[in-house]
Chain A
């Protein structure tokens, strides 16, 4: 695994993008103790269950879709629902309820959200029936320059790099190239206007593993013929993409992934025997919620098999950068995983919080609820402007 990814992406992101594999039911159950309301973890858990325990998978796809709706992530909720309905065909009433829930939680901040919010229930279901989700591994070519444009693709999770080759201008000998990163809720595919046959002017490669939800041009055309008010929504989506390409941010924002800033953590892991001194470890955490955190231990520790830590009580001191203070909590290690870091093997431990003072809880709440968009942009700009 790339150390850079280890250091910068959150544990949840890495579970979602597949760079950390969870391969047992018990491990997922422990993970959900730390991230009980994380839609991405429920979604990956549902994928894990889909073949062996389809009924449980249906439940987890449903839970995941509900949490995605609560988080305003419409596209991700739709994809979870597609998988749920592939396993258990919905009734008309269930379709109506999903549509209604989607609209209740509907944020219209990004073009994709505005597109889905503009569809009627029949149009949405027709669209979902033709939308095909697929995973593409990290560092893979998705589209080459000159490929025929055949699909409209939405980014459900992960990050891609798009390089656009601009037409030669007068007196120019070399085509100008601009790069832009695509992240979740972005989309690509020059399929509109439908009557024009286009070839790709871009090269698109994945940075992390990516989940795309795609619809073919022919199916989209068919839906637009059947429901005349869908085409103006496609037109608006197309216009929004053209406008976003012209924005200044697109040229400087590079890797764009969800991120919480690493937080310094000191741990005292208590041993089974009272006489033995507690194990003192330090590391940083990037996935923190009020219920728990995952901590990446410093590379200097050689603790052997990390699963030996599972079940141990732990005292956590977390240094919050925002207020220059530390908060203290008691918890239990419920999940652990060996990972490579800086050329060595260390561990990620998942800790479920048990006790903390009301003051510390308030501070943690304030820290956890920092706006994701702001943090993502700061981190992306850090990568593009300062990282060496």
Chain B
């Protein structure tokens, strides 16, 4: 098996996760085209449908019913992730299909997620692209936080921007909560702070860090602050119809900097493209898109810059 051969010398693949809250922002489309361009650039890429409750990425690649899915790996029908990778029509691009048929997998235990993440990093690939499901459940957030590159996709609509921001905010709190899992009092404080109407009036991450410092926990505060600084976001505004709409991602950047103390955010945008909408509706494989598509070109540029 290729997965086992990979354990010795080759560097582990870079894991990119694509999330952003509500469905409909175009996460799956952006993941698919991004993965396609990486593969065209000669990078061995595995696209993984991590929407464990409603997987459908295979349809964007023109695969009607995948013979193997993540379910086979989780239920131990297949021993290695390599065994469930499906070749696609694009060279260097393989797919691991999600497990939409087993609803119980929509909420795997944390240890199951850790196991999955470890296996992703043992895949024989240069890049592993995780297309996360909608929502901000712990399930989605844990995969997002484990990735080397954390990509948010949103559209230029107020609710989409709000969802994307809440996704990032919940990811920060989830990270702080996991970091404090061995210190119950700190974890309780973090959980309290997540309710913005808490009695302690801690309404932002910034204020939470101040509170910890004022309570004599400067060392703890420093550690948490450094961990938040490690969160580097890539925000992609999808379906932007003009230059003004490209600013949607900037809103998440500014609010996350002010309220969550996230210092580093890269911004990109993808043009609105009628052709893509039509292809998704017709269930045509996205990798067969007309090369003149603006969105396709935008994602090529993003892929080149993110490499």
Residues of chain A at the chain B interface (Cβ within 8 Å): 72, 105, 107, 109, 249, 261, 321-324, 369-375, 377-379, 381-382, 385-386, 388
Contacts and interface: CB of A to CB of B under 8 A. Distances in A.
Contacts of A371: 196, 203-204, 259
Nearest to B245: A386
A299 B136 CA distance: 33
Interface in B224-257: 244-245, 247-248, 250-251, 254-255
B158 interface: yes
B161 A72 contact: no
A323 B135 contact: yes
A45 B34 CA distance: 57
B201 A386 contact: no
Task: Name which of B22, B166, B245, B247 has the most chain A CB atoms within 10 A of its CB.
Answer: B166
A105 B254 CA distance: 29
B18 interface: no
Contacts of A249: 254, 258
Interface residues of B, number: 32
A377 B245 contact: no
The DSSP consensus for interface residues of chain B is helix
B119 interface: no
A13 B33 CA distance: 44
B300 interface: no
A107 B198 CA distance: 13
Given A322-B136, A323-B135, A370-B166, A382 B161 contact: yes
Contacts of A324: 22-23, 134-135
B263 interface: no
Nearest to A375: B162
Contacts of B56: none
B252 to A, nearest CB: 8
Task: Name which of B161, B195, B251, B259 has the most chain A CB atoms within 10 A of its CB.
Answer: B251
Contact of B163 (A109, A321, A374, A386): A321
Given A72-B201, A109-B207, A385-B251, A373 B162 contact: no
Given A370-B196, A371-B204, A374-B169, A322 B258 contact: no
Given A374-B165, A374-B259, A261 B159 contact: yes
A378 B161 CA distance: 8
B92 to A, nearest CB: 33
B197 A369 contact: yes
Contacts of A109: 207
Interface in B204-223: 204, 207
B21 interface: yes
Given A324-B23, A369-B197, A382 B135 contact: no
